[in-house]
Amino acid sequence: MPDFTVGERFRVTLFGQSHGPAVGCVMEGFPAGFAPDGEKAAAFIARRAPGRNAWSTPRKEDDRPEILSGLNENGQTCGAPITALIRNGNTHSADYAELKDTPRPGHADYTARVKYGAAWDGRGGGQFSARLTAPLCFAGALAKQYLEEKGISVAAHIARIGTVTDAKPDPVQPALPLYAPGAFPVIDPERGEAMKAEIEAARQQGDSIGGAVRCFAAGLPAGLGGPYFGGMEGKLAKALFGIPAVKGVEFGETQACGSANNDAFCVRDGAVRTATNRAGGILGGITNGMPVYFTVSFKPTPSISIPQRSVNLKTMEETPLAVHGRHDPCVVPRAVPVVEAVTAIILLDAWLGK
Amino acid sequence: MPDFTVGERFRVTLFGQSHGPAVGCVMEGFPAGFAPDGEKAAAFIARRAPGRNAWSTPRKEDDRPEILSGLNENGQTCGAPITALIRNGNTHSADYAELKDTPRPGHADYTARVKYGAAWDGRGGGQFSARLTAPLCFAGALAKQYLEEKGISVAAHIARIGTVTDAKPDPVQPALPLYAPGAFPVIDPERGEAMKAEIEAARQQGDSIGGAVRCFAAGLPAGLGGPYFGGMEGKLAKALFGIPAVKGVEFGETQACGSANNDAFCVRDGAVRTATNRAGGILGGITNGMPVYFTVSFKPTPSISIPQRSVNLKTMEETPLAVHGRHDPCVVPRAVPVVEAVTAIILLDAWLGK
Amino acid sequence: MPDFTVGERFRVTLFGQSHGPAVGCVMEGFPAGFAPDGEKAAAFIARRAPGRNAWSTPRKEDDRPEILSGLNENGQTCGAPITALIRNGNTHSADYAELKDTPRPGHADYTARVKYGAAWDGRGGGQFSARLTAPLCFAGALAKQYLEEKGISVAAHIARIGTVTDAKPDPVQPALPLYAPGAFPVIDPERGEAMKAEIEAARQQGDSIGGAVRCFAAGLPAGLGGPYFGGMEGKLAKALFGIPAVKGVEFGETQACGSANNDAFCVRDGAVRTATNRAGGILGGITNGMPVYFTVSFKPTPSISIPQRSVNLKTMEETPLAVHGRHDPCVVPRAVPVVEAVTAIILLDAWLGK
Amino acid sequence: MPDFTVGERFRVTLFGQSHGPAVGCVMEGFPAGFAPDGEKAAAFIARRAPGRNAWSTPRKEDDRPEILSGLNENGQTCGAPITALIRNGNTHSADYAELKDTPRPGHADYTARVKYGAAWDGRGGGQFSARLTAPLCFAGALAKQYLEEKGISVAAHIARIGTVTDAKPDPVQPALPLYAPGAFPVIDPERGEAMKAEIEAARQQGDSIGGAVRCFAAGLPAGLGGPYFGGMEGKLAKALFGIPAVKGVEFGETQACGSANNDAFCVRDGAVRTATNRAGGILGGITNGMPVYFTVSFKPTPSISIPQRSVNLKTMEETPLAVHGRHDPCVVPRAVPVVEAVTAIILLDAWLGK
């Protein structure tokens, strides 16, 4: 039921609004005795920050969190909830003033108003803002570090921008990470250039463009998850659909016929493995020891400067609407670390339950 | 965490194994004072039963449930948990004897053994069996009846079998139901014939074939769901991925560019509506009053009679495997009511929380 | 939120009404590979059954459950939800006909009607009936057997009936079990006779009498539970207050002053222990390796034949009320196994999370 | 499962350690559109703060929280999680240095170490510290204000310190609040003086003393709660046992015999009421429209300066222990607002579910 909490054994609760004093998160259930690498976590969060490159919004966010609880004197997790705080700043609330009564198409403006009434703080999208993915990435960074120590890697790449697709990793033995640190997050840099061109074209038209992120997790033990509503697909999907703009989640790579789709079992390095990995590492809701992978599709960001039609909620009259402000023409590149973060959170959660 | 429970306010807990004495479900939170129509519920469950037609397995299941609790003397829900019991019968456990040590590719046999150990009752797939969708459909039938009384309709159709796709309903004002009672569950009967031909071709080759189901829910009020992890997409997806063989869930119908994807707000019948419905009735995780719709993709059933490769878990030697028994070459037609059932359960759950 | 589910990792869901077809339970999360002893479980349930002795109601219940799921061919738990069904019978619904509009004082009749409306099935108390403690005891019997195999014993006794108290076990090293099988559940048989006399006196006057049950759990490892809302006291208390007629729960045996109340740490058998056990085996919400114990107080059963005053809900007029039927003058002796059952369920739940 | 979260629809998550940078809380589910009175909330929190009077520790805490999220520009709740932050300060970590390897009797020191290992931040009790009741009180203050607007009052008093008891309010129509603002929280000031004398006597001896708090909630509608594990007693008890040092919870005031204990139904002001209120306002787990009340017993604070016996966990040798530092000889007076806060949180939670 909670809107801002994800996970069961490892639970992450987000808080904040886009134009409020701060955003942040509280994590419960992170194992005690782990020393997170703050620099590494900051670098991970920086991957989702806007304003760092040509293909995203010129807004700059300094997302380095202050840790309010959860660490002992030596910087180790001590078993208390870990709380991270990121102050907001550099907000242009005025940009949103005229939107107060006229919901932006494709945004949560209208539905938020139905749910919360007139008191909703719609500036910057309020609690619907992707700004909350900053603390989500911090939580994911810690989960990722912990999993890495257990031999589990999580890595995503842009699968598609518009119609341009990236190369596909080998789903049986993907070479992780999929690209060099700091690079545009694709396997094939040439296709990455084509993607950037698509993004730039959308920007020039005041339009936006969607795409997809593919994520891999390798090194997972067999046996995580469960049948029916305890399946790993459902747990991951529920969390992934929590990321703003996600509209689809697909596991593995299904073939039309059973004979082509079934992954034959084989023995590799003394362990039961599958020869192919159409299943995406999950059978009957439970990890089978093969890499887990899935593709998350994102709608084009609804923030466009092309004039649109909306309704003035006070007068109930249809009205044209032009949205100003600084917006990404494409959220997909910045969504790559967010997908990794959410995946790491859910996998740590599952791992703690084994 | 529970594997067999779905929903929060309206909670459905499944139980049973494929070859155990019975399957069934317990429902908590169904509103008191409602008189379910037993005949209608039985007719709904019959839509998923095998053995009723040419395109599915010749197994026959009599799925009419016995109600053990939850109704008063007048057949109304009384506030107590509603328990439905369906006895098993007509099982051929011998069919599964040789599979004890050799997991079937694409099935949960291997991962179940990793999770539960040697005590797992693998006959017929145990608790992973799609047999548990019979009580799930009963729960869904009750939810559907309740929602109908509130003006909310849920209806699904086969979106695709192999490469054959059905016609698409108008997402703004879909004409529900989408097909005549008892008919093959497609909008366009001609395409339905082509789908049946695909299924028959798969059967003749001892193979199987996958597809997709599209589901619509019309009449929902705006305001159900919430931001981030409380979004309707995540809640529906988590439940839908609980259906055996589901590998993907996609909401609405995303367009490449924001200008084409954003649904303009308009006024219709005095209410705020959208002119198009790419969003699938959900904005910011919250229903916007438009029909909710999504597409669920199913892998081809892993049960095929074409010889496959597997591993004998006792000897750890690779071994050929031939699976006998009576299996559907395509689960998609029978999955249509299951998707409706799960959708109705989650929507009733959300509706009760408004 | 669910009313009929208790536990997190080991979850027990009760179902049924007093005068419906059946009562039962579904258990999720019980470890696979365990072979429950059916005879022992039946003997445990029999301890709560009425009609077995002089001091309780002459109603006879045959509570041996039918197992509908959760066991494999060899009678071992297989990882599927375990479902137990107990058919109802021997009900005298006519006894309750005149109570339809006139709630019995001290019972749930009035509040149930407020919550569920006119459709509530009030016969025998409906889903509020202590009849549902029969399947609860079955679930507890299984939990108890499992814990015993891990060296953890759970045993309760009558601490008090009216003003007659039983002897107190040594809280540091209680001798469990506290009485012989089949005996009146007290340590000191002489005081047991005095208790029976109190019960008999209440019966003769058409009145009822309350009391308390004390429960011990020995052999628990240190480290179960957690700070604040994760404390063992809270988890146990929430479940214990679920037992009908419970009005108080108290842990350990608190002394007035800190110097007398603090349990000094000492070393015993090479392990950290406490010299005394005022704390009841729990410090900071977490087990400390000493026996956990607590006292549960029960109100006198509200079912008395002495005339009382009530209100006719239809006419809203005050009216005298005489309750007929077969009722225990004291539920405390039969509550002893119920307290043990609930304790075992919660301790298994905690044990599975360590 | 979460240790630091309480509530379902209204959920409060605490964070922080005693000697970390801050404590605080995140609240989800508080209704949007409410304007909390900050001064009133601060005054409420001040009631639990130490150092304000003769009978508690000389430590001073400035507990006025910073609100990081959840309010809109007009200071109204906007539907986003409400986050409150209270910086720590005035901590004497050196006081705890020598306790690192020698657990204090009656404290969580030993069990925390078993649960979290050597990384536990034991300074000031870490996350077990009653310091976290400061943000808990803030959450409770908001819940209380909201309930007050709905006509629901929550008020507690000291029921007992040592052997000195306060007068008892009329459980049918208690006069709330029970004492003047700023006064020692008792009904009978004379008995309050006797309580203070008990506390002072304990202080002089370097000892501590326990007691009990009684809490009333008036104005609740009938129908909140549910049967079995959904009962209001269990929900309240689980939360109340989360308060440090609570060892017992008892509802209403049970009489020995049913004839004396049953509350006769009557008609008052046109509504169904009970003539007496032994039940504490709850029947069958559900509120009956009468005042809810219960008594919470607190052990004497384990922090005493009288020498005690403990064990050095490194050497596993028994050792005498003298605890220094500034401690309350009695936590009960400061616990009064904490009990009110927890009660208000759970009642708001239940109220939102009706």
Please state the rounded mean pLDDT for residues C200-205: 95
pLDDT in tens, B192-239: 999 999 999 999 999 999 999 999 999 999 999 999 999 999 999 999
Helix (H, G, I), strand (E, B) or coil at B215: strand
Helix (H, G, I), strand (E, B) or coil at D245: coil
pLDDT in tens, C8-41: 999 999 999 999 999 999 999 999 999 999 999 9
Is C110 close to D265, i.e. CB distance below 8 A? yes
Kindly tell me the burial class for residue A280, based on how many C-beta atoms sit within 10 Å of its own C-beta (0-12, 13-18, 19 or more): buried
pLDDT in tens, A162-215: 999 999 999 999 999 999 988 999 999 999 999 999 999 999 999 999 999 999
Q: Which residues in chain D (306-325) have CB-CB distances under 8 A to chain A? A: none
Give yes or no for C116 touching D (CB within 8 A): no
Structural domain of A78? 5-352
Give yes or no for D12 touching C (CB within 8 A): no
Q: Is the dihedral of CA B111, B114, B118, B119 positive or negative?
A: negative
Angle between helices A232-240 and A332-352 (to 10 degrees): 140
State residue B62's pLDDT score. Answer: 64
Residue of D nearest to A82 (CA): D15
**CA dist., res. D221 & res. A194, Å (int):** 64
**CA C198 to centroid of chain Cα atoms:** 21
**CA dist., res. D336 & res. C66, Å (int):** 50
State residue C100's pLDDT score. Answer: 79
Tell whether the model's pLDDT for residue A51 goes beyond 70: no
Is A15 close to D5, i.e. CB distance below 8 A? no
Give yes or no for C201 touching D (CB within 8 A): no
> Looking at chain B, which subunits does it touch, using at least 3 CB pairs closer than 8 Å as the criterion?
A, C
Is D246 close to C255, i.e. CB distance below 8 A? no
Q: Select from A8, A79, A121 the Cβ nearest to the Cβ of D80.
A: A121
State residue C55's pLDDT score. Answer: 53
Tens-of-pLDDT digits for all 354 residues of chain B? Answer: 699 999 999 999 999 999 999 999 999 999 999 999 999 999 999 998 875 555 555 555 567 899 999 999 999 999 999 999 999 986 666 656 667 799 999 999 999 999 999 999 999 999 999 999 999 999 999 999 999 999 999 999 999 999 999 999 999 999 999 999 889 999 999 999 999 999 999 999 999 999 999 999 999 999 999 999 999 999 999 999 999 999 999 999 999 999 999 999 999 999 999 999 999 999 999 999 999 999 999 999 999 999 999 999 999 999 999 887 667 899 999 999 999 999 999 999 999 998
pLDDT in tens, B110-130: 999 999 999 999 999 999 999
**CA dist., res. D324 & res. B300, Å (int):** 70
Site from B23, B73, B121 to mutate, C interface, most C CB atoms within 10 angstroms: B121
Give yes or no for B238 touching A (CB within 8 A): yes
Buried b (16+ CB within 10 A) or exposed e, A64-88: bbebbbbbbeeebbbbbbbbbbbbb
Q: Which residues in chain B (59-98) have CB-CB distances under 8 A to chain C? A: 66-74, 76-81, 83, 85
Q: How far is D123 from chain A (nearest CA, A)?
A: 9
Tell whether the model's pLDDT for residue D325 goes beyond 90: no
Biggest distance spanned by C-alpha atoms of chain A: 71
Please state the rounded mean pLDDT for residues D61-87: 93
Q: Tell me the percentage of chain D whose pLDDT exceeds 90.
A: 88
State residue B61's pLDDT score. Answer: 56
State residue A59's pLDDT score. Answer: 55
Q: Which residues in chain C (21-40) have CB-CB distances under 8 A to chain B? A: 21-24, 26, 28-29, 32-34
Q: How far is D178 from chain C (nearest CA, A)?
A: 24
8 A C-beta contact, residue B174 and residue B291:
yes
Give yes or no for A7 touching B (CB within 8 A): no
Q: Which two tokens stand for residue D260?
A: 């004396």
Give yes or no for D140 touching C (CB within 8 A): no
pLDDT in tens, B136-162: 999 999 999 999 999 999 999 999 999
Please state the rounded mean pLDDT for residues A57-75: 82
Site from D27, D69, D85, D132 to mutate, A interface, most A CB atoms within 10 angstroms: D69
pLDDT in tens, D44-71: 999 988 755 555 555 555 678 999 999 9
C-alpha closest to that of B217 among B171, B186, B268: B171
Is C32 close to B2, i.e. CB distance below 8 A? no
Tallying the residues shown for chain C, one arrives at 354
Q: How far is D73 from chain C (nearest CA, A)?
A: 33
pLDDT in tens, D257-304: 999 999 999 999 999 999 999 999 999 999 999 999 999 999 999 999
pLDDT confidence of D164, banded at 50, 70, 90?
very high
In 10 A of CB B289, how many CB atoms? 22
**CA dist., res. D309 & res. A160, Å (int):** 67
Q: What's the number of domains chain B is made of? A: 1
- Number of C/D CB contacts below 8 angstroms equals 343
Q: D98 CB contacts (<8 Å, ≥6 apart)?
A: none
Give yes or no for B159 touching A (CB within 8 A): no
**CA dist., res. A144 & res. A156, Å (int):** 12
Q: How far is C74 from chain D (nearest CA, A)?
A: 33
State residue D99's pLDDT score. Answer: 72
> Which residues in chain C have their CB less than 8 angstroms from residue B31's CB?
none
pLDDT confidence of C64, banded at 50, 70, 90?
confident
**CA dist., res. A242 & res. B284, Å (int):** 9
C-alpha closest to that of B79 among D284, C122, C98, D232: C122
> Which residues in chain D have their CB less than 8 angstroms from residue A80's CB?
15-17, 20, 121, 126-127
E strands in B61-113 = 66-69, 82-87
pLDDT confidence of C63, banded at 50, 70, 90?
confident
Tell whether the model's pLDDT for residue D213 goes beyond 60: yes
Beta bridge partners of B296: B213, B249
Kindly tell me the burial class for residue B13, based on how many C-beta atoms sit within 10 Å of its own C-beta (0-12, 13-18, 19 or more): buried
> Which residues in chain A have their CB less than 8 angstroms from residue D121's CB?
71-73, 78-80
What are the distances in angstroms from CA C96 to CA C322, D2, D78, D264, D286? 11, 43, 50, 18, 21
Tell whether the model's pLDDT for residue D309 goes beyond 80: yes
Tell whether the model's pLDDT for residue C97 goes beyond 90: no
State residue C95's pLDDT score. Answer: 58
Q: Select from D110, D278, D302 the Cβ nearest to the Cβ of C258.
A: D302
What is the DSSP code (8-state) at residue C225?
A: B
Q: Select from C13, C85, C115 the Cβ nearest to the Cβ of B79.
A: C115
Is C256 close to D209, i.e. CB distance below 8 A? yes
State residue C78's pLDDT score. Answer: 97
Q: How far is C303 from chain B (nearest CA, A)?
A: 22
Is A259 close to B207, i.e. CB distance below 8 A? yes
Q: How far is B73 from chain A (nearest CA, A)?
A: 33
State residue A90's pLDDT score. Answer: 64
In 10 A of CB A54, how many CB atoms? 9
Tell whether the model's pLDDT for residue A58 goes beyond 60: no
pLDDT confidence of C153, banded at 50, 70, 90?
very high
State residue B96's pLDDT score. Answer: 60
Kindly tell me the burial class for residue C54, based on how many C-beta atoms sit within 10 Å of its own C-beta (0-12, 13-18, 19 or more): exposed
Q: How far is D218 from chain A (nearest CA, A)?
A: 28
Is C78 close to B23, i.e. CB distance below 8 A? no
pLDDT confidence of A64, banded at 50, 70, 90?
confident
Please state the rounded mean pLDDT for residues C328-346: 96
Give yes or no for A2 touching D (CB within 8 A): yes
Q: Which two tokens stand for residue B217?
A: 């829910």
In 10 A of CB C243, how many CB atoms? 23
Q: End-to-end CA distance of chain D: give it in Å, rounded.
A: 24
Top-confidence range, A47-61, D99-113, D240-254: D240-254
Give yes or no for B116 touching A (CB within 8 A): no
pLDDT confidence of D322, banded at 50, 70, 90?
confident
C285 backbone φψ class: left, alpha, beta (φ>0; ψ -120 to 50): left
8 A C-beta contact, residue C202 and residue C330:
yes
Is C126 close to B14, i.e. CB distance below 8 A? no
8 A C-beta contact, residue D332 and residue D256:
no
Whether the bond into C177 is cis, omega within 30 of 0: yes
Q: Which two tokens stand for residue B321?
A: 């495997």
Q: Which residue has the higher pLDDT, C63 or D320?
A: D320
Angle between helices C38-46 and C133-149 (to 10 degrees): 130
State residue D261's pLDDT score. Answer: 97
Q: Select from A105, A238, A299 the Cβ nearest to the Cβ of B237.
A: A238
> Which residues in chain C have their CB less than 8 angstroms from residue B32's CB?
115-117, 119-120
**Residue C278, domain CATH:** 3.60.150.10
**CA dist., res. C263 & res. C277, Å (int):** 6
pLDDT in tens, D17-31: 999 999 999 999 999
Alpha helices (H) along B150-227 = 189-204
Site from D4, D10, D83 to mutate, A interface, most A CB atoms within 10 angstroms: D83
8 A C-beta contact, residue D230 and residue D349:
no
What is the DSSP code (8-state) at residue C234?
A: H
pLDDT in tens, A253-298: 999 999 999 999 999 999 999 999 999 999 999 999 999 999 999 9
Is B2 close to C11, i.e. CB distance below 8 A? yes
What is the residue type of B259? S
State residue B63's pLDDT score. Answer: 73
> Looking at chain C, which subunits does it touch, using at least 3 CB pairs closer than 8 Å as the criterion?
B, D
State residue C319's pLDDT score. Answer: 95
